[in-house]
Amino acid sequence: MEKFKVGDTVITINKGRECDAFPEKGQVFKVFGMHKFIKKNWLEVEGFSGSVDASRCKLVRPVEFDQNPSTRGKEKEYDFVNPSHYKAFSVETIDMMIKIWGKEKVIDHCEMCAFKYKLRLGDKPDQPVERDLAKANWYINKAKELRNL
């Protein structure tokens, strides 16, 4: 189990038991307190009324991108959320999709992609959860933007 301290940022990596009292997978919280109860470590976090089981959380590290020494540092040059190959044509891919399938279907697509990225947070080896969380947020924001057009 990871060791947490006050001030850490954590992300929930699974929902745990079928219980409405535990936050959904992929939620990010700031730790403001900790305690032990019945042989378990619990985190007190901002934005959630109960304590969170520490074993169901992962520490969010600000820079935890590439573990490969030959490519380390290159992640700052590459936009993992909206990379340049998405814009290789005169029209961005998402805009092509709107023209082909219509705005409502692309909104559905965005919501499904956000769901997929949040559901699989923390499952990719050697990949930071922040990257998939950023992708999920991009899709959520794009769906909101399209609804307001």
DSSP string for residues in 91-128 = S-HHHHHHHHH-HHHHHHHHHHHHHHHHHTTT-STT--
Report pLDDT for 113: 93
**Is the pTM value of this prediction over 0.85?**
no
Report pLDDT for 39: 77
Tell me the domain boundaries of the chain. Answer: 9-59, 74-147
Report pLDDT for 21: 58
Report pLDDT for 75: 47
Considering Cα of 105, then 111, then 116, then 117, what sign does the dihedral take? positive
Report pLDDT for 64: 42
Residues of the chain with pLDDT under 50: 1, 18, 20, 63-67, 72-75
Structure tokens at 95: 């805009």
Report pLDDT for 8: 81
